[in-house]
Amino acid sequence: MAYHLNQADAAQFHRDGYVLVRNFFSIEEINKLYSIAVGDRVMQQHATEVTDKAGKQTKLTLWYTPGEDVYSLLLRSDRMVKGAALLLDSNSPVCHFHTKLMQKEPGVGGAWEWHQDYGYWYKNQFLFPDQLVSCMVALTSAHRANGCLQVIKGSHKMGRVNHGFAGEQVGADMEMVNNALTTLPHEYIELEPGDALFFHSNLLHRSEANKSDQARWTIISCYNSLSNPAFNDTTVSRTRPIITVPDEALLLSDASAASETGDFLRKENDPALQATGWEQEVKTNG
């Protein structure tokens, strides 16, 4: 039986800005997904490299509309969508903004600078940060050595802080980050495959480069409520309630790799990335 988030989880999320669920997906489920992901040609073709402040690159593949592939069976699963529904500040249906396959490769995978996701999504003109939530699911172990996520616990309560440039990334105003670091706990979120971290769009987070010889791969799905319009965003999946699949689907179905017809990130259409000049500098593989 898959675990479903409950009111105690929601209370933790509202207090800390995140809730960590160990073994949210089983090892069998993650093994199946990860073994497809590492050989997924379409995912690699649509991967994008993002340069951090130190000039290191980290790789991700981002897409919007969920389909029938193995990743979609994870992000559309009852446990994920109901979890998001419980945490979002709205009773309207849950939609899928986007999902990213994060591929932080051994030795080369770069850092993510301190930011709030809403630092990016404000530029898409989403109205309500409380109606946006992300869920990171670990596909490999994520430890300090290979650049696990770090968060400032409770920082979602600060509201949105200003963001500027940080390499090709959007980075939070470091004066406010340092203020937060002197006031709130700084946590390293170490994950094992199958662990899931739901986090608020205003939670300050970062991660370091992968200096180890172990890959650090995760999948991050971002959900919004249908009642949260984005006035500077042309993507469509965020306006369509997710059609959920049973929790068993990921394991039991003949799930496939990504489809050539998927709607992957097109940087020139993404206001958050345009604002950083990303679209001119980023290198797309394939």
Ligand X SMILES: O=C(O)CCC(=O)C(=O)O
Considering the complex, what minimum distance in angstroms separates the CB of residue 136 from ligand X? 7
Residues 73-112 that bind ligand X (CB under 6 A): 100, 102, 112
Q: How far apart are CA 17 and CA 5, in angstroms?
A: 15
Considering the complex, what minimum distance in angstroms separates the CB of residue 53 from ligand X? 14
Q: Does 13 bind ligand X (CB under 6 A)?
A: no
Considering the complex, what minimum distance in angstroms separates the CB of residue 85 from ligand X? 21
Q: Does 163 bind ligand X (CB under 6 A)?
A: no
Q: Which of 32, 59, 76, 205 binds ligand X (CB under 6 A)?
A: 205
Q: Does 152 bind ligand X (CB under 6 A)?
A: no
Whose CA is closest to 255, among 66, 2, 113, 111? Answer: 66
Q: How far apart are CA 14 and CA 89, in angstroms?
A: 10
Residue 113 near residue 171, CB atoms below 8 Å = yes
Of residues 135 and 255, the one with the C-beta less far from ligand X: 135
Residue 38 near residue 98, CB atoms below 8 Å = no
Q: How far apart are CA 1 and CA 252, in angstroms?
A: 14
Residue found under tokens 């799905």: 221
Residues 117-136 that bind ligand X (CB under 6 A): 117
Q: Does 149 bind ligand X (CB under 6 A)?
A: yes
DSSP 190-232: -B-TT-EEEEETT--EEE----SSS-EEEEEEEEEETT--BTT
Q: How far apart are CA 40 and CA 198, in angstroms?
A: 26
Considering the complex, what minimum distance in angstroms separates the CB of residue 220 from ligand X? 5
Q: Does 209 bind ligand X (CB under 6 A)?
A: no
Considering the complex, what minimum distance in angstroms separates the CB of residue 168 from ligand X? 13
- Kindly write out the interface string for residues 213-232 of this chain, putting x where it contacts ligand X by CB under 6 A and - elsewhere: -----x-x------------
Stretch (H or E) spanning 177: helix 174-183
Q: Does 177 bind ligand X (CB under 6 A)?
A: no
Q: Does 207 bind ligand X (CB under 6 A)?
A: yes
Binding site for ligand X (CB under 6 A): 100, 102, 112, 117, 149, 205, 207, 218, 220
